[in-house]
Structure 1
Amino acid sequence: MQTEEQGTGTATQKENPLRAEKRRKLDQLKAAGIDPFPHNFERSHKLAEIDAKFSHLEAGDVLESEVVTIAGRLMTKRDMGKASFFNIQDQSGAMQGYVKVSELDEQSQTSFKLIDIGDFVGFKGHIFKTKKGQLSVHAHSFTVLCKSLEPLPEKYHGLTDVETKYRHRHLNLIMDTASRKVFETRSKIIREIRNFLDGRGFLEVETPVLQPIYGGASAYPFKTHHRALDMELFMKISPELYLKRLIVGGFEKVYEVGKNFRNEGIDRSHNPEFSMLEYYEAYTDYNYQMQQFEDLVNHLVQSVKGTLKFEYNGKEIDFTGPWRRLSVFDGIKEYAGVDVEAISDDELFKTIKSKGSTADKPASRGEMIMELFELTVEEHLWNPTFVIDFPKEVSPLTKSHRSKPGLVERFEPMAAKMEIGNAYTELNDPVDQRDRLMEQEKKRVVDEEAQPMDEDFLHAIETGMPPTGGVGIGVERIVMILTNQPSIRDIILFPTMKHKS
């Protein structure tokens, strides 16, 4: 049963006074025979189009023959006796309106008198510029398009509570035009990714979000259950194993921009649900893909920023090529002063403990090397850098290095101290691939993030996959850098949040 507070009836004593006043005006509009929620409204212009077309006018100019019909959300209203100024905004911009109530017909007068900040309104009128030079529209008629009930945050302070900003993104977008711009830029970046790859002959594809076996990354998955088939399914942690099947099937250049889901922690650069670009290209290796990765990212940087040098988090970052290439071993030697090739496993474990590791016992040699790299090197990698040649133990899907035993042909591009991608010369030796996955399967006793055995994937590899280079790019981290946002939650419209309770 709906209570009076929940419905659209009259206000109750418990209701917020501002909300109660809005509800009272809603009832008055209905009593006057005015529909506060009409089905549509035909605009002649977006607000930015008016600004672009008439911004050349001089202060005091009046164009009574230039009549426009516009709409948007009411953001301010200043009553000045018999006349009023007000401001509306739509997605494209903002515009000032001016009205003399006595000039309106009876329905328009009633509508105007009963509007509040936050309502959607539409009006028709002619163009003029005020004596102070403000482009405006002088209203001839006025319509309520949506009578809001919830008061907006105070205009000049906006949303100061970060929790509210993320939980009620609609309020953040209403009050902060800069935030809207961030998400428009995000959309542009994804569009430019597609343009770049489409221009190079890639085919965009889709892979399953629900998978019977997860793989392609070391991560803990989200589980679900399919009732009709009575089977456990996992949400995609990576599209890699499916995209490789397509290379086996004869598609030579494929990519996917889509959501991945990893049941892991949340911090400034991690969200459990995130967007990933992955692409695979037959007859290439990681050397070729390093250059293509640099070309793609610099295309995005140039498209968004117009320059390869710009500021991120108060510090200049320079994407000018060629990007630095730094091996894992050389990075540790340069920044930690440790030659990992010259020390034993016991010495390596003592070293990572001295650098801040919380491990209570040694892991594999490769895992300890990578932990040492993360603890001592990543914080120094600000300008774009290709970190190359990883230990085999941490790269079960990667081809062995052609000249460096114990290593694989893998690179992780870093920028602004963040990993922004991951790429391999893909492993296509079916015997080696089976052995690697068997090792991963054994690790699952102590490491739930190790990759499970996947016989369907191995069947594809045993059918034959040509030499292939594969690349993954973290879309959110690229967007963070190009929009100068410090947290991933600022560039995901609806980031994962705890329940309010």
Structure 2
Amino acid sequence: MSEEVRNDAATGAETGEQQVNSLFAQRLAKVRELEAAGIDPYGHAFPNTVPIEQVRAEFVAPAEGEYGPEVTVAGRLTARRGMGKSIFADLRDSSGKIQLFVGKSEIGDEAFALFKKLDIGDIVGIKGPTFLTRMGELTIRVHECTLLSKSLRPLPEKFHGLVDVEQRYRQRYLDLICNDESRRILKMRSDIIREIRNFMDSRGFMEVETPMLQSLAGGASANPFTTFYEALNSTMYMRIAPELYLKRLLVGGFEKVYELNRNFRNEGMDRRHNPEFTMMEVYQAYGDCRTMMELIESLITTVAMKVVGTLKIDHGNGKVIDLTLPWRRATYNELCEEKGGADWFKLTPEERIERGKSLGLDVYPGMPDLEVTNELYEKLVEPTLIQPTFVTRIPVELLPLAKGCPDDPTHVDVFELGINGVEVAPAYSELNNPIIQRRRLVEQFEKSKKEGDRMEDKIDEDFLVALEHGMPPAGGMGIGIDRLVMILTGAEAIRDVILFPQMRIRK
């Protein structure tokens, strides 16, 4: 058993917490020893380092018995294997892992003794030439080791990963140290967002920023987070959507705009919802929802090929999301009839409620007819949309900010893109008629108002005034970035694609 393993091994009499406290005390004592010896356990800059991935990529095997050029790397010790006067260890940085060989004859007694005192989790800087071991493993022969940061707490599970799923989210830094899959997914998230911006910029869209603190929570139907602005002596809301401000920019003459940023909704948390989430909203003057349809198809397939390298994303257990074009198109009514019966819309409201009960829907006598159908859609239709599907022609009451279909004013000219059982991107042919828009917002307020609600506190009058100055016809779309990242990485929980997801507060 190596010295590190002996030091970190728990005795049968110790609890997990007692073991951590014991190891903390041991490592703290090492800090004091280092300081007494004139060694700073929390060192300074270590310049000229290169990523381990680069060392691997540029390695050229030298002639037998020779070494490659000296390299300079830095990272965290993640394993160590003692062999008398020599030690093998693993060093990891953000790009990968490499083996170290530390020989007493190479670095001298003092430096070798210092290396023996290092613990798993310590951050070090390394200089030395590269070579291949007899087993063919790329290794750095350490000529110089500098302690850069002493780890006082042991890594979980001897670096074998976090077993406690909740701990992975609460202590994401440990998850990233221990979990290759988490690092892969969260690195891909960054790559995906970068490529989304590259795509939008290549299409001539301008990235903008609009207020996150708003005096009215508009642009969507959701429960906002409320705060108080001391300087203005007024209640404010964290935005639930940037839509109404982006449309003001269309009025102002910016014809192709997008914003990629946070929205906040004071609602539930589950595997597909986080109260703080990333959304991209896009607006293009003189377009419509079909313009947005082409945009989202091109965006997702382009980003998938650049980041993932394929349009077929493996989600495990035999499920593969196939992003190959063209994607399915179906109307809201057609999909409801598939699940509720071909005669669904010919039934009386009372018959629909009875049919809904027989299908296991949460419906009740007197439930508004529109809500009964939407319950069918949300419970039986949407979860089955695994492959990309554009759901079109949705009832107008559900989307008051969209234009009506020219041939049917009871439905709006929109789509909702469903992939893997969730809505990823709704898009509208935007309503630019200020008269109809005002009427719809008033009707929506009257239907949903509660005692004490005032119309001026719920309807954004300044937005309506902006529309009255003239907004061009436009296509608009919102893209749930967290959900898109889930699709492209194969993750099945939204917390897996957010660096620091919201968690219940421990009491």
Band of TM-score, shorter chain: over 0.9
8 Å contact 2:77–2:119 — kept in the other structure? yes
Partner of 2:10: none
Shift of 1:384: 0.4
The Cα offsets for residues 220-252 of structure 1, whole Å up to 9 and x where unpaired, read as 010001112111000011010110000011000
The Cα offsets for residues 378-406 of structure 1, whole Å up to 9 and x where unpaired, read as 23211100000010111110111111231
The Cα offsets for residues 326-365 of structure 1, whole Å up to 9 and x where unpaired, read as 1011111122214343223333333333333334454543
The 1-side partners of 2:66 and 2:132 are apart by 6
Partner of 1:178: 181
- Note the 1:68-467 alignment, pairs <5 A: 68-105=71-108, 108-155=111-158, 157-314=160-317, 315-360=319-364, 362-446=366-450, 452-467=458-473
SS in 1 for 2:408: coil
Change (3 A) 1:107 1:243: farther
The 1-side partners of 2:212 and 2:36 are apart by 51
Question: Which residue identity does 1:483 align to in structure 2?
Answer: T
Q: CA RMSD in A?
A: 2.1
Does residue 39 of structure 2 align to residue 39 of structure 1?
Answer: no
8 Å contact 1:123–1:143 — kept in the other structure? yes
Q: Gaps spanning 5+ residues in structure 2: where?
A: 1-17
The 2-side partners of 1:165 and 1:185 are apart by 18
The 2-side partners of 1:288 and 1:445 are apart by 35
Shift of 1:156: 5.8
The 1-side partners of 2:230 and 2:159 are apart by 51
The 1-side partners of 2:357 and 2:411 are apart by 24
Change (3 A) 1:188 1:56: same
8 Å contact 1:111–1:144 — kept in the other structure? no
Question: Which residue identity does 1:354 align to in structure 2?
Answer: S
Change (3 A) 1:171 1:15: closer
The Cα offsets for residues 250-302 of structure 1, whole Å up to 9 and x where unpaired, read as 00000000001001111111110110011000001112221221111111222
The 1-side partners of 2:380 and 2:130 are apart by 62
SS in 2 for 1:456: helix
The 1-side partners of 2:132 and 2:467 are apart by 69
Partner of 1:50: 55
8 Å contact 1:276–1:475 — kept in the other structure? yes
Shift of 1:102: 4.0
8 Å contact 2:160–2:178 — kept in the other structure? no
Does residue 474 of structure 2 align to residue 474 of structure 1?
Answer: no
Change (3 A) 1:33 1:107: farther
Question: Which residue identity does 2:386 align to in structure 1?
Answer: W
8 Å contact 1:182–1:483 — kept in the other structure? yes
TM-score normalized by structure 2? 0.92
8 Å contact 2:91–2:99 — kept in the other structure? yes
- Note the 1:16-31 alignment, pairs <5 A: 16-31=21-36
Shift of 1:368: 2.7
The Cα offsets for residues 175-194 of structure 1, whole Å up to 9 and x where unpaired, read as 11221111111111111111
8 Å contact 1:352–1:368 — kept in the other structure? yes
The 2-side partners of 1:452 and 1:325 are apart by 35
The 2-side partners of 1:232 and 1:246 are apart by 25
Partner of 1:7: none
Shift of 1:111: 2.9
TM-score normalized by structure 1? 0.93
Question: Which residue identity does 1:339 align to in structure 2?
Answer: D
The 2-side partners of 1:14 and 1:266 are apart by 34
The 2-side partners of 1:157 and 1:470 are apart by 46
More helix by share: 2
Question: Which residue identity does 1:426 align to in structure 2?
Answer: E
Task: Tell which deviates more after alignment, 404-413 or 352-361.
Answer: 352-361
8 Å contact 1:440–1:452 — kept in the other structure? no
8 Å contact 2:75–2:92 — kept in the other structure? yes
SS in 2 for 1:104: helix
Change (3 A) 1:74 1:47: same
Change (3 A) 1:493 1:15: closer
Question: Which residue identity does 1:35 align to in structure 2?
Answer: D
8 Å contact 2:428–2:477 — kept in the other structure? yes
The 2-side partners of 1:336 and 1:345 are apart by 13
8 Å contact 1:444–1:452 — kept in the other structure? no
The 1-side partners of 2:60 and 2:165 are apart by 36
The 2-side partners of 1:27 and 1:388 are apart by 68
Shift of 1:416: 1.1
Identity of aligned residues (%): 47
The 1-side partners of 2:110 and 2:470 are apart by 74
The 2-side partners of 1:363 and 1:402 are apart by 29
Question: Which residue identity does 2:356 align to in structure 1?
Answer: I
8 Å contact 2:78–2:159 — kept in the other structure? no
The 2-side partners of 1:236 and 1:400 are apart by 26
Shift of 1:492: 0.5
Question: Which residue identity does 1:19 align to in structure 2?
Answer: F
Question: Which residue identity does 1:46 align to in structure 2?
Answer: P
- Note the 1:477-492 alignment, pairs <5 A: 477-492=483-498
Shift of 1:158: 1.4
The 2-side partners of 1:46 and 1:375 are apart by 48
Change (3 A) 1:495 1:55: farther
The 2-side partners of 1:382 and 1:224 are apart by 38
SS in 2 for 1:182: helix
SS in 1 for 2:155: coil
Change (3 A) 1:159 1:14: closer
SS in 1 for 2:227: strand
8 Å contact 1:61–1:130 — kept in the other structure? no
Question: Which residue identity does 2:53 align to in structure 1?
Answer: A
The 2-side partners of 1:268 and 1:322 are apart by 29
8 Å contact 2:128–2:144 — kept in the other structure? yes
8 Å contact 1:119–1:148 — kept in the other structure? yes
Change (3 A) 1:445 1:21: same
The 1-side partners of 2:217 and 2:425 are apart by 20
SS in 1 for 2:506: coil
8 Å contact 2:353–2:364 — kept in the other structure? no
Question: Which residue identity does 1:182 align to in structure 2?
Answer: I
8 Å contact 2:340–2:355 — kept in the other structure? no
